[in-house]
Structure 1
Amino acid sequence: MRPRRRRTDLPSRYRVLFAGPVGAGKTTAIRALSDAPPVDTDVPMTLTRGDGKTTTTVGLDFGTWRPAPGVTVALIGIPGQQRFAAARQRAAVAGTRVLLWLRADSDTLVADAAEWLGVFAGEEHRVAIAISHDAGRPLREIRRTLADVLQHHGIPLTRVLLADARDRDDVMRAVSVALDLPEEKS
């Protein structure tokens, strides 16, 4: 048996963009994973929502995670509201991985997925999807619900996972899935 060799040509800096609709858990996930106090651009909402959310992101959120010595992952959250879409284009540079956060308990889950995957059209090979607020729905059911839109964008069902944005381990697992994506479409 040949000994396994460790790759030494891997980059030491990565970027993961947290994208998705308002209330999906982007800012919360960055707060849960960041090794340093994150910078966030949350401001009080002028209109209240039925889910208890009282703030909204108006710019870019930023945190850092150091999963191993010498490796840094920039965690960048973009606003979910269309009126702040200009911030999205500035953050989605080449090589950045995308972790799309969607709410399983939303009546617009499929429409949200289609809209946000459209934002990253042509870059789907960089996208993984974290499903929050699953309310006990099994992952296989959520994947079935999203199957058509995922197939349309060429995203395998295996890139969809459940993640509680408040739980550091869940967010770490979701970011790790996003980082393991191939650089280019196969």
Structure 2
Amino acid sequence: MMTSQSQAKEKLHHVTSVVTEPEDNVKFYDEWAETFDELSKLGYRNIDGLDASQKSLDVAARKDIMNELICVWVDDKTIKIASDCYDGLICVGGFVPGHLHSDCFDEWIRIVKPGGVIVNVLRQQWLDEYEPYANNQLEDDMKQKERSMKWELIQRGNFDGGDQQWKMAVFIHKVL
């Protein structure tokens, strides 16, 4: 019998190695929605949720821990959120094969207030191996936003994640 931890690892492996199309990603997250942990466990109360999986948002709605729930795939298109709306934005695991690309950065910057913080966490492996991110492509796109004076890098670091199976990269930017 599989433990919930081994099931989660199996699902992570599946989504990061097999699933590459947005529609397939949504189906995957629909199936995984019940297992997500929420920031409210850490004491945060004024949270909005944005996800491409309506089922994930439905689960969040049942838990009654988020204010607004927005179902959208984030890319370079304007999403229905006011400019300068949020104090911060956190994206964990959004940059994996078949998921987000740097075209979402402008929207992130638009919806976060000047002085607000954007935290982006992803596996270092994808920065090293996944073609759209590798060879410094993703980091170069981040640096272009810095040169354009849209955000500034506050911290770039690494830590062990996934029960120390993965080296994780974290980028923290302040919106200008």
TM-score (ref. length: structure 2)? 0.41
Higher RCO (Cα < 8 Å, 6 or more apart): 1
The answer to which structure has the higher helix fraction is 2
TM-score (ref. length: structure 1)? 0.39
